[in-house]
A and B are shown apart, each in its own frame.
Chain A
Amino acid sequence: MDYAIIVALEMIRAVAWLVLLAAGLAIIFGMMRVINFAHGEFLMLGGYTVVVSTGAGVNEWVAILLLAPLVVGIFGVVVERLVIRQLYGRMLDSLLATWGLSMLMIGGVTLIFGNTVQGVATPFGGVRIGSYQMPVYNFVLIFFAAAILLAVWAILKFTRAGLIARATMQNPNMAETLGIRTGWVYMATFGIGSAVTGLAGGLLAPVTGVVPAMGASLVGQSFITVITGGAAVITGTLSSATILGSISQATTFWAGPVYGDAALLVVALILLRILPQGITGRIFKRAL
């Protein structure tokens, strides 16, 4: 019985993990149709912000919840102004430019911080569930994944800024005609998307090894989650993360991590074949 609870909790955690990885990318891709291939490096930057600042004495939670999103958000705005702005509508060029950016970031972080960076331990300890133990931090991850999704949804649905953002997303020309400064909207969107990514990277820092090249293994999962989800930011990410995360985690429990990984990829393939515009291209079409 406890084993079943553990499995269920792990599955939810796997979903939360994918949501965290994909949320920032979904915001940027969903709103701006820009492919940010440096997404993994933005995550890495968030992670590094946390390990470097905690190494300098800053409180862990301040680093994760405040510094990481702030630093990466500002970095995102700078990147948007300098690079992405020239490339709107040119999806492929944005892909290649951001691929160059990712190499630049990996090399740059290596140069600046080298390989003598301390890690951050996972806060809290374990919690007993029956005869098993599980990190309390799993709940932290689940909580923040849900919080991020809720916050973005609330902003988009209930605030004026969200309304403007949605208008720009649906019809940029019309929005411009109505006097909305789409340039600012894009900048803010990219900034917020980066900040969310930075937060995710910061949250991940206590559970994985933070090294300059850590983005490489994370970017694949992020992309697959976002694209399989389709155009809608919240619903898409949530639905694809749920399907992919739970199936792959269940397979991992049953047959080991190799098959769990393979399962995620195969399920993504099948989903894309059946729903070639992503899940929210066909289902939940007009959702956020």
Chain B
Amino acid sequence: MAITRRHFMRTTGAAAALSLASPMIARAAADTIKVGGLHDLSGALDLVGIPMNQVFQMAIKEINEAGGLLGKEVEGVVYDPQSNMSLYSQYATQMALKDRVAVVMGGITSASRETIRPIFHKFKTPYFYNTQYEGGVCDRNEITIGTTPAQTVARIIPYAMNLYGKKVYTVAADYNYGHITSAWIKRFVEEQGGEVIATEFFPLDVAQFGSTISKIQAAKPDFVCSAMVGSSHLGFYRQWAAAGMKEQIPMISTVLGAGGNDQIVLTAAEGNGILSSFGYFEAVDNPANKAFLERVKAEYPTNTPIMSEISECTYEGMMIWADAVREAGSTDRDAVLEVIAQGKTYDLPAGKVKIDPKTHHAIRDVYIAELRDQTFAIRESYPESQPADTQMVCDLIADPGANKHYEISL
């Protein structure tokens, strides 16, 4: 029957030609430790996935240069799900069952994470999710490094309201992330005694914003809060500046700068003054970050990727895992998780990071930055921000078997 299957394969001409390009994963000798990298390197999300993968590979190199782990070399297994959910699920299963990796870094959108998280939970492969997201994952097997709204939105709203005023107009992408973030925005605005005049949602492929810009002018808010996602939505910032609105009404965003190249796609004139809040900016001033940025530049001297929270957190994930393996003395999942749950503080390029044993999310420093001449300049920092939103729904100490993504209702 294997013969029959191969018979089918051969009759597809092009496939036969490319069967020569068989997978170049080195089925190495048993003395390497495999780590899986599952980031989109092509398709709609490649702009974010490629820097993440570059940092992933760089981290592996750094670990190996320092002598490897437990006397063995670390080897990366990189698959490209091509922004395609079914490939995510296939590759995840493959990594867990066939390649038997010791840990996986990956997943970008919440949809992709929720596809692979249950797979890794089932096959007991430790999984690090390094992207900022809407909060609510309760799964001991996943270490969530990225920021959640309770860490970022909770800071930037009061800061902006203090600066600009109490009336807010929200524009958001019309899908889960946009809806949840705008709900959080509303909550924090109202907590501070303000008012969200209106919230408008835009499907991801809308590129014309004239009507909304006119409506915002009519509504006269104190500032605009943008949770717009994707390249079509960059048009909003463009058209806003083109209408001369930049000088009239200030803007903040919970998304701009997340992936790392928005700030150069927008020109200085369009971007100046926009506030953003994340767990990491290139401008963070500490020795770990200096070393990190130097290494990125050395590793990728041409077309150096801009570092943003999402790529730096990939580095954090690798380093935290490597440290846990060294301390535990093995790559066994439960041993590694036990070390991580001790809650020790790591000195990483983003500042100090600690994993909360209750939620396996990161307690980290959060920054507010302003876009100036196409780079972010830090205005304010908040050390040790708790992932309060996930803490509301998840307690892994009481329930270590939890395996769910809660949608936090507000």
Bound-state Cα–Cα, A122 to B208, Å: 14
Q: Are A134 and B212 in contact (CB under 8 A)?
A: no
Which residues of chain A come closer than 8 Å to B266, judged between CB atoms?
A: 119
Which residues of chain A in 115-144 are interfacial with respect to chain B, using CB atoms and an 8 Å cutoff? 115-122, 124-127, 131-138
Bound-state Cα–Cα, A206 to B42, Å: 25
Q: Which of B118-126, B138-146, B231-239 contacts A (4 or more CB under 8 A)?
A: B231-239
> If the complex has contacts A3-B214, A6-B214, A211-B47, are A258 and B265 also in contact, measured as CB distance less than 8 A?
no
Q: Are B265 and A210 in contact (CB under 8 A)?
A: yes
Q: Are B202 and A257 in contact (CB under 8 A)?
A: yes
Fill in one digit per residue for A228-239: 1 if any B CB lies within 8 Å of its CB, else 0: 000000000000
Fill in one digit per residue for B251-275: 1 if any A CB lies within 8 Å of its CB, else 0: 0000000001100111101100000
Q: Is A62 an interface residue (CB 8 A)?
A: no
Which of B44, B217, B234, B243 interacts with A209 by CB under 8 Å?
Answer: B234
Q: Is B190 an interface residue (CB 8 A)?
A: no
Q: Are B214 and A125 in contact (CB under 8 A)?
A: no
Which residues of chain B come closer than 8 Å to A59, judged between CB atoms?
A: none
Which residues of chain A in 76-93 are interfacial with respect to chain B, using CB atoms and an 8 Å cutoff? none
Which residues of chain B in 26-45 are interfacial with respect to chain A, using CB atoms and an 8 Å cutoff? 42-44
**Could you say which interface size class chain B belongs to?**
35 or more
Greatest chain B CB density within 10 A among A7, A133, A209, A257 is at A209
Which residues of chain A come closer than 8 Å to B207, judged between CB atoms?
A: 207-208, 217-218
Q: Are A115 and B261 in contact (CB under 8 A)?
A: yes
Which residues of chain A in 150-194 are interfacial with respect to chain B, using CB atoms and an 8 Å cutoff? none
Bound-state Cα–Cα, A120 to B211, Å: 22
Greatest chain B CB density within 10 A among A121, A136, A212 is at A121
Which of B44, B200, B203 interacts with A213 by CB under 8 Å?
Answer: B44
Which residues of chain A come closer than 8 Å to B203, judged between CB atoms?
A: 257-258, 261
Which of A115, A126, A210 interacts with B245 by CB under 8 Å?
Answer: A126
Q: Is B50 an interface residue (CB 8 A)?
A: yes
Q: Is B357 an interface residue (CB 8 A)?
A: no
> If the complex has contacts A110-B42, A213-B43, are A124 and B242 also in contact, measured as CB distance less than 8 A?
yes
Greatest chain B CB density within 10 A among A10, A110, A125, A213 is at A213
Which residues of chain A in 202-255 are interfacial with respect to chain B, using CB atoms and an 8 Å cutoff? 206-214, 216-218, 220, 249, 252-253
Bound-state Cα–Cα, A227 to B143, Å: 50
Can you name the residue of chain A whose Cβ is closest to the Cβ of B218? A3
Which residues of chain A in 1-57 are interfacial with respect to chain B, using CB atoms and an 8 Å cutoff? 3, 6-7, 10, 13-14, 17
Which residues of chain B come closer than 8 Å to A206, judged between CB atoms?
A: 238, 242
> If the complex has contacts A116-B261, A133-B217, are A122 and B242 also in contact, measured as CB distance less than 8 A?
yes
Fill in one digit per residue for B271-303: 1 if any A CB lies within 8 Å of its CB, else 0: 000000000000000000000000000000001
Nearest CB of chain B from residue A287's CB, rounded to whole Å: 28
User: What are 8 contact pairs spanning A and B, CB under 8 A?
Assistant: A121-B267, A122-B238, A127-B244, A135-B242, A209-B231, A209-B265, A216-B44, A258-B174
- A residues with a Cβ closer than 8 A to B are 3, 6-7, 10, 13-14, 17, 107, 110, 114-122, 124-127, 131-138, 206-214, 216-218, 220, 249, 252-253, 256-258, 260-261
With A126-B242, A209-B238 given, can you name 19 additional A-B contacts, CB distance below 8 Å?
A: A17-B208, A107-B42, A115-B261, A116-B264, A116-B305, A118-B265, A118-B267, A119-B265, A134-B213, A135-B243, A206-B238, A208-B234, A210-B231, A211-B265, A249-B211, A253-B215, A256-B200, A257-B174, A258-B202
Closest 6 CB pairs of A and B: A126-B244, A209-B234, A217-B205, A122-B242, A209-B231, A135-B242
